Structure 1
Amino acid sequence: MTESETSRDSPVTRISRQISASEFSCHCCYDILVNPTTLNCGHSFCRHCLALWWRSSKKTECPECREKWEGFPKVNILLRDSIEALFPDAIQKRKEDIQEDSDITQSLLAFQKYGNDLTQTTPGTGAANQQQVGGFFSGVLSALTGVAVVLLVYHWSSRESEHDLLVHKPVAKWTAEEVVLWLEQLGPWASLYKESFLSERVNGRLLLTLAEEEFSKVPYSIENNSHRKAIIMELERVKTLGVKPPQNLWEYKAVNPGKSLFLLYALKSSPRLSILYLYLFDYTEAFLPFIHTICPVQEDEQEEDIIAKFLDLKDPTWKQWRRFLLKYSFLPYQLIAEFAWDWLEMHYWTSRFIIVNAMLLSVLELFSFWRLWSRRGLKTLTRRLWSHIWKVSTQGFVVAIFWPIIPQFVCNCLFYWALYFNPIINIDLVVKEVRRLETDV
């Protein structure tokens, strides 16, 4: 090039020959900066690179030095104009490549929506709003703590003391009043025979000597075959166990405190593995009542009461297994909700808490599957499954080893917290997942 040609070049052209594009590279993609965005720490990145980083990490911090940024990052106009003037061809090519990438386009839209939502709150009112929200949250938390204390006192004082009696006391030592209490828990129909048992002063020892023929005669006069059969079958169970078998949540907790606490936490984190645990290690006492309740032999079968379903439990039919495995694979929390719904008359509010919690956990599981698929996380599926197995196994190990030395008060607090407070916590998690989904879309 001659000296006259060099003198005719513009100042920008002469400068571009002395500066290479690598000096204006992004530390995320290591290519020339496009719409450079400078953070508070001084580092600059392509705006789409920053959007991709924010969308994947959900962190408002520098990808290089991890310093958090304040506000919403803006494009460095001076740096952008300088780079576009120095390297117009390279910038034009990169912009065309970016426009063809749908993932980048969605990230930029989500990033901009995040900025718009952030700037809607003015600096003058932001602190006040935060204080109002914080005060509201503190008030709600205080109210919930008060409700929790009331629930704990209520269950400790009435539920457990009432139901622990017969599940721990030998049948031979039952009084006549305790025999009537056992009879009433078989169902509403049992109240028809309450007076005859009381008038005869049937205590535990006398109850153990009664045969089926005596129930059909005076003074008992139980003429209904199904009622008589239910009483005889439950009496056989009582004779076999020596005590009253647990027939509701509180009695099951009184007999199996460690197992109930383990199941309550394990069903939340890994319902499929927990139900499999019941099948393998607690088939007769827990799994059979569970599957016969949620998958009865006949859908149109009208049972007279809840307890009747547990009197003659046989191995499930293939039709029951088919319905169970379908729900077990795709909607495991629905199984828990259906089981709680069946106990609605006996555990009015508790069943509702369990049903709501099962619905929320189902939604959270759907969000988890959505993130797993949308972020191409199928490669981590095996690791996630092993993590679930390890978590449930660890919980069982802790319960088995440390249960004898854990104070009963602490165990009760953990039990009632998981039973009544988890739905409230899961509501907040669902709201956060919905907001995150709106941001991603």
Structure 2
Amino acid sequence: MEEDVKLEGDGDSDGAETATEAKLGRQISVSEFSCHCCYDILVNPTTLNCGHSFCRHCLALWWVSSKKTECPECRDKWEGFPKVNILLRDVIEKLFPDVIRQKNEDIEQNSEIIQSLQAFQKYGNDQNHTAPGGGRVNPQRGGGFFSGVLTALTGVAVVLLVYHWSSRESEHDLLVHKPVAKWSPEEVILWLEQLGPWASHYKERFLSERVNGRLLLTLVEEEFLKVPYSIENNSHRKAIIMELERVKTLGVKPPQNLWEYKAVNPGKSLFLLYALKSSPRLSMLYLYLFDYAETFLPFIHTTCPVQEDQEEDLIAKFIDLKDPTWKQWREFLVKYVFLPYQLIAEFAWDWLEVHYWTSRFIIVNAMLLSVLELFSFWRLWSRRELKTLPRLMWGHFWKMSTQGLFVAIFWPIIPQFVCNCLFYWAVYFNPIINIDLVVKEIRRLETQVL
């Protein structure tokens, strides 16, 4: 393919311009604007730091095949993300419009080239936040300094939280590890208060009798009806009896909040924290299959409660939970498929009074993760890659399974301080990371629209 262009001077120009154009008045061929990869005319010429120019699709094919950020000709490393040489592109398109038009049509019909260009541009967006065609997006628009400052502050906060909670470790797990028979009267009151706000009405009655752990184990329902306890409310009395039966069975206080659950199940709490973030659907399936009574039942009854009278709802967490109704399963499955992170947010919201700031961090993180998941599905839809969804799901399942097996094997040898760091990092730091990821996704979407 060869095409020549004649540059002719204007007869009315002055002498200097005529002399200059006379020097340029020669035949310019396509070969003088050829790519050193395909040896054809440059299409969207991209100039590297070394000065060599290549077709953008040729550079993309080279990068996809080699995964090297270097010049295909001289092997010099290029920095940043290569940009289209706009001046050279405009000159070539004006000199050889027909050739460029035909080349663009050929490129649009080649699926391998299209996929390589998309992968190359995605790499550029991830590395340098560049817009299509090489134009750089201002990195200060969301993220940048703002996210860097938040990241630093949150990192410091996580270290302080680890130190703070580690120093109070015995306060959180005192009753969940201490045998009931050794409880003092003050510890019995602490156990009673954690049953709910309503239990404070009976605090003075237990204190007046100096009920310690040994005496608590001997109490039966008839005694709670008599003086000095006089618990006449049937629902309150039932809640205390049911919780007392659990205490007698376990020998210690069962965990009733996040910190106590973490103290009793450090490995499981860390696993669930990261698993629910990375794969909420698989994690909930795991809870259903392997932790039904202890964790899944409270979870589904909290997120999809049965509409009963307020008094029954008040003690719902402290009585034997029944199997979910069909109405509960229907509501749960709809949210499980379409809004899994909403289930996590609803569960955190229910514990807002117990874990004020922690619940808010979890709720915000769940909202951000929902947005990121929506962006992921949008990318698959816009690229018409929905048919790859089964393969991606299987790959995700395999990745989560291997990671879970790895954690199960090496968990016993991980120091407790490291586990605490990972736990508080996931709770309080992940929302900051996800804010930055959402900003990047929005920026990437803007560049695609523009």
TM-score bracket for the superposition, by shorter chain length: 0.7 to 0.9
Separation (CA, whole Å) in 1 of partners of 2:250 and 2:131: 67
Structure 2, gaps ≥5 residues long: 1-7, 9-23
Over 3 Å counting, the alpha-carbon distance change for 1:79 and 1:146 in structure 2 is closer
What is the match of residue 393 of structure 2? 385
Q: Deviations over 1:59-85 (max 9, x none)?
A: 99679569436674324549944x875
Q: 1:68 aligns with which of 71, 78, 82?
A: 78
Q: Which amino acid aligns with 1:151?
A: L
Q: Which amino acid aligns with 2:197?
A: P
Separation (CA, whole Å) in 1 of partners of 2:279 and 2:292: 18
What is the match of residue 4 of structure 2? none
Q: Which amino acid aligns with 2:343?
A: L
Separation (CA, whole Å) in 2 of partners of 1:112 and 1:287: 46
1:90 Cα offset (Å): 3.7
Structure 1, gaps ≥5 residues long: 1-9, 122-128
What is the match of residue 336 of structure 2? 328
Separation (CA, whole Å) in 1 of partners of 2:107 and 2:413: 61
What is the match of residue 400 of structure 1? 408
What is the match of residue 194 of structure 1? 203
| Superposition TM-score, scaled by structure 2 size | 0.78
Alignment of 1:215-364 (within 5 A): 215-298=224-307, 301-302=309-310, 308-364=316-372
Over 3 Å counting, the alpha-carbon distance change for 1:203 and 1:378 in structure 2 is same
Structure 1 stretch displaced more, 210-219 or 346-355: 210-219
Q: Deviations over 1:362-390 (max 9, x none)?
A: 11111111112222333432332223222
1:25 Cα offset (Å): 6.2
Q: 1:185 aligns with which of 171, 184, 194?
A: 194
Separation (CA, whole Å) in 1 of partners of 2:45 and 2:404: 53
Q: Which amino acid aligns with 1:254?
A: A
What is the match of residue 164 of structure 2? 154
- Structure (1 or 2) with the greater helix fraction: 1
**Count of residues in Structure 1 that have an aligned counterpart in Structure 2:** 407
Q: Deviations over 1:370-416 (max 9, x none)?
A: 11222233343233222322232233323322222111111111111
Alignment of 1:13-32 (within 5 A): 24=34, 27=37, 32=41
Separation (CA, whole Å) in 1 of partners of 2:402 and 2:52: 44
1:142 Cα offset (Å): 4.0
Q: SS at the partner of 2:84?
A: coil
What is the match of residue 3 of structure 1? none
Tell me if structure 2 keeps the 8 A contact 1:208–1:239. yes
Supply the RMSD in Å over aligned alpha carbons: 4.0
Separation (CA, whole Å) in 2 of partners of 1:405 and 1:169: 25
Q: What percent identity do the matched residue pairs reach? A: 70
| Superposition TM-score, scaled by structure 1 size | 0.79
Over 3 Å counting, the alpha-carbon distance change for 1:53 and 1:69 in structure 2 is farther
Alignment of 1:143 onto 2:153: yes
Separation (CA, whole Å) in 1 of partners of 2:71 and 2:388: 23
Q: Which amino acid aligns with 2:288?
A: Y
1:305 Cα offset (Å): 7.2
Over 3 Å counting, the alpha-carbon distance change for 1:92 and 1:283 in structure 2 is closer
Q: 1:436 aligns with which of 415, 419, 444?
A: 444
1:179 Cα offset (Å): 1.2
Tell me if structure 1 keeps the 8 A contact 2:188–2:212. yes
Tell me if structure 1 keeps the 8 A contact 2:46–2:83. no
Separation (CA, whole Å) in 1 of partners of 2:84 and 2:71: 13
1:155 Cα offset (Å): 1.9
Tell me if structure 2 keeps the 8 A contact 1:172–1:204. yes
1:209 Cα offset (Å): 1.6
What is the match of residue 4 of structure 1? none
Separation (CA, whole Å) in 1 of partners of 2:101 and 2:351: 67
Over 3 Å counting, the alpha-carbon distance change for 1:213 and 1:438 in structure 2 is same
Q: SS at the partner of 1:414?
A: helix
Q: Which amino acid aligns with 1:166?
A: L
Tell me if structure 1 keeps the 8 A contact 2:45–2:84. no
Separation (CA, whole Å) in 1 of partners of 2:27 and 2:278: 61
1:38 Cα offset (Å): 3.9
Tell me if structure 2 keeps the 8 A contact 1:186–1:308. no
What is the match of residue 212 of structure 2? 203
Tell me if structure 2 keeps the 8 A contact 1:38–1:75. no
Q: Which amino acid aligns with 1:157?
A: S
Over 3 Å counting, the alpha-carbon distance change for 1:20 and 1:359 in structure 2 is closer
